A = this chain, B = another copy of it.
Amino acid sequence: MSVLARYLPILVWGRAYSRRDLPGDVTAGLITAIMLVPQAMAYAMLAGLPPQIGLYASIAPPILYGIFGSSRALAVGPVAIASLMTATALTALSPPGSPSYIANALVLSFLIGLMLVVLGAARAGFMVNFLSHPVIAGFTSAAAILIVISQIKHLLGVSVPSGDTVETITGLFGHIGQTKLATLSIGVGTLLVLLLMREPLARLLGRWNLSPLTIQFITRSSPLLAVIAGIVVTGMWHLDSTAGVAIVGTIPEGLPSLTMPSTDLTLWQALLPSAALIAFVGYLESVSVAKALAGKRRQKVDADQELIGLGAANLAAAFTGASPVAGGFARSMVNFSAGANTPLASILTALLLAFSVMFLTPLFHYLPQAVLAATIVVAVVQLIEIDSFRRTWRYNKADFLAQTATFVIVLAIGIETGIITGIALSLLLYLWRSSRPHFAVVGQVGDTEHYRNVKRHAVRTDPEVLLFRIDENLYFPNAGYLEDSLRAEVAANPEIRDVVLICSSVSLIDASALETLQELRETLHAAGIVLHLAEVKGPVMDRLAQTSFIEHLAPGQIFLSTHDAVTHLRAKLYADPYGSAI
């Protein structure tokens, strides 16, 4: 049962479900659905897909996530950056909107889902920790800028051939004369409505003493209001035919039919690298949001189970004609603060979306694309964290370099190269740092039994004895540095006859570090120096006892404390000043 419950979190929250959870879940489900309908269509447009694909991505995937996911409040569906990455991946193979483009989107969802489930089964959730926060901020900010740039053409009503960032910007300037006034007015109007109906309206409503929930309900309806206004204005004056306003057009009615992603292995191979990157970025966003929300209510998120939950959601997308999904940042925050207590809120959102797809799609016919573009712009502008660059610069220059490099490469070369560079830079930075661990030569403080770093304190040292304190675990990436540092000390101080490694901070010595210690012992011995250990922890000692290390250490010893070592070695030096015992 407990294993089953780990892999099926719905058994946990479902069994413990209480009637007191229901009002919060219903409210949150409703508010999130109101916010999601326009967003789902907008992100489908960003991905180069017909609007219904975004709606489909908001039905089955969140239900599957509700069954398998470990977060209580994560709202899963189409998200901005994954949609842009989907567009990049699919455009490389076929023209946007073509039948093969749409069919390939399913394959992408399928591959992403498969990879996430496999990684989850392998308990590889820890992998996500190896992307540093500054690199994530650099990547996200640049991706958000790319998304804004990609939407300008929809706001102006001009058509620009797709290309890289520079080509898009040049194209926009070249076609700026063809801007359609009606489209621009609708776009700018929507932007204003969306911006004014957030903070300013919330402050205003706050002064009227409305409850926070009501305020949230009203402000979160702004995208829906903008959609309705856009539809009414365009439909009433037939702006699509009279003023050339691009509209969404006919959206097929009814639930998605079951789909089977292509099993063409050549296609799989072509999409696999992009799928891996989208899976990584989507998981990264989801798990960060899920963790932050869970922490606020003393709940826990299981990083490995999140892989399975998100994987199941993407597999659901693949079999219901939908594009790749992830946990959205803004959407989950709304869901959480509107009172979602359990994944039932997300399931209700999905049911409301299913209802819209079944009965409301004809209403969206006259929806101007400029309204969707404005929705996207307002959503992603919040992801641009210029302030993060300033903070990173002040706190850590190496992190700043990695952040800026990732930012520049996403903008200049592309989102996939950017994220790969970011991952590589994070790892390099980490390896570089961790290969230079902290070691210290220590000496005695006065006549006490305390020993401190010779560089920071006035301490007493014996020229014949090197007291070398290791401040980290010993394993292969830093064992070489220990060896080098110790050998440098020994080479610089020809009087040294005994070396004591103080292992008070060492809880692990791996096979490589053990070999390094053995080599050190032998080469020091050849140079007439004896190696000792001190303050070895119990578990480390148990491990060492299984090897021949300790028996070969003689005449070196293992001392309980640094002070024991010093007392013993001083006595030996005094009794035998010429070292004939060695």
Residues of A within 8 A of B (CB): 126-134, 291-292, 294-301, 303, 391-392, 394-396, 399, 426-427, 430-436, 438, 471-473, 475-481, 483-484, 487-488, 490-491, 494, 505, 507-508, 510-512, 514-516, 519-520, 523-524, 526-527, 543, 546-547
Q: Which 10 A-B pairs have the closest CB atoms?
A: A295-B523, A133-B512, A132-B476, A296-B526, A129-B480, A126-B435, A399-B511, A296-B523, A132-B512, A298-B527
Which residues on the B side are within 8 Å of A505 (C-beta)?
471, 505
A391 CB, min distance to chain B CBs, angstroms = 7
**Are A435 and B130 in touch, CB under 8 angstroms?**
yes
Measured between beta carbons, the chain B residues less than 8 angstroms from A399 are: 510-512
The answer to whether A476 and B130 have CB atoms under 8 Å apart is yes
CB-nearest residue of chain B to A131: B476
State A149–B480 Cα separation when bound (angstroms): 33
Interface contact A396-B519, CB-CB below 8 Å? no
CB-CB < 8 A to A515: which residues of B?
133
Shortest Cβ distance from residue A478 to the other chain B in the assembled complex, whole angstroms: 7
Contact call B547/A395, Cβ cutoff below 8 A: yes
With contact pairs A490-B298, A514-B395 given, residues A129 and B507 touching in the complex (Cβ less than 8 Å): no
Contacts A126-B435, A297-B526, A300-B484 aside, 5 further interface pairs with beta carbons under 8 A come to A131-B476, A134-B512, A298-B490, A396-B510, A430-B476
Q: How far is the CA of A432 from the CA of B294 in the complex (A)?
A: 24
Bound complex: CA of A325 vs CA of B479, how far in Å? 27
Q: Which residues of B contact A435 (CB under 8 A)?
A: 126, 129-130
Residue of B300, B433, B508 touching A488 (CB-CB under 8 A): B300
Kindly state the separation between the CA atoms of A471 and B514 in the bound complex, as whole angstroms: 21
Q: With A488-B300, A527-B296 as known contacts, state yes or no: A291 contacts B477, CB within 8 Å.
A: no
Also in contact, A295 and B487, with CB within 8 A (given A396-B511, A399-B510): yes
Q: With A and B bound together, what is the CA distance between A505 and B507 in angstroms? A: 13
Instruction: Give min CB distance, A195 to chain B, whole Å.
Output: 26
**Docked-complex contact B511 and A134, CB < 8 angstroms:** yes
A131 to B479 CA separation, bound complex (whole angstroms): 11
What is the chain B residue whose CB lies nearest that of A523?
B295
Interface centre among A392, A471, A475, A516 (most CB of B within 10 A): A475
- A480→B438 contact, CB < 8 A: no
User: What B residues does A480 contact at CB under 8 A?
Assistant: 126, 128-129, 291, 303
Q: Give every chain B residue within 8 A of A519 (Cβ-Cβ).
A: 292, 295
The residue of chain B having its C-beta at the shortest distance from the C-beta of A515 within the complex is B133
CB distance from A67 to the nearest CB of B (A): 22
Q: Which residues of B contact A128 (CB under 8 A)?
A: 480
Does A295 contact B129, Cβ atoms closer than 8 Å? no
In the bound complex, residues from chain B placing their C-beta under 8 Å from that of A476 are 129-133, 426, 430
Q: Given the complex of chains A and B, what is the CA–CA distance between A148 and B525 in angstroms?
A: 35
Decide if A300 touches B491 in the complex (CB within 8 Å): yes
24 inter-chain pairs at a CB distance below 8 angstroms, sorted by A residue, are: A129-B479, A130-B435, A130-B476, A130-B477, A132-B510, A132-B512, A134-B511, A134-B512, A291-B480, A295-B519, A295-B523, A296-B526, A296-B527, A298-B527, A391-B511, A394-B546, A395-B543, A395-B547, A396-B510, A434-B434, A438-B473, A438-B507, A471-B507, A472-B473
Which residues from chain B contact A481 at a C-beta distance below 8 Å? 126, 129
| Bound-state Cα–Cα, A283 to B124, Å | 32
CA distance A512 to B426 in the complex (A): 11
Kindly state the separation between the CA atoms of A526 and B395 in the bound complex, as whole angstroms.
Answer: 26
A128-B480 Cα distance, complex, nearest whole Å:
9
Give Cα A127–Cα B299 distance, bound, in whole angstroms. Answer: 40
| Closest residue on chain B to residue A123 by CB atoms | B432
Asked whether, in the complex, the Cβ of B129 is within 8 Å of the Cβ of A477, the reply is yes
Q: Which listed residue, B300, B301, B433, B484, touches A475 by the CB 8 Å rule? A: B433
Residue of B126, B295, B471, B514 near A431 (CB, 8 A) is B126
Complex alpha-carbon distance, A297 and B298, angstroms: 59
Contact A291 B483 (CB under 8 A): yes
Instruction: List B contacts of A479 (CB < 8 A).
Output: 129
When distances are taken between beta carbons in the complex, the residues of chain B under 8 Å from A126 are 431-432, 435-436, 480-481
Residue of B nearest to A488 (CB): B300
**Given contacts A130-B476, A511-B133, A295 and B494 within 8 Å (CB-CB):** no
Q: For residue A243, give the distance in angstroms from its CB to the closest CB of chain B.
A: 48
Q: In the complex, what distance in Å separates the CA atom of A167 from the CA atom of B405?
A: 47
CB distance from A421 to the nearest CB of B (A): 16
Minimum CB–CB distance for A547 against chain B, Å: 6
- Chain B contacts of A296 at CB under 8 A? 523, 526-527
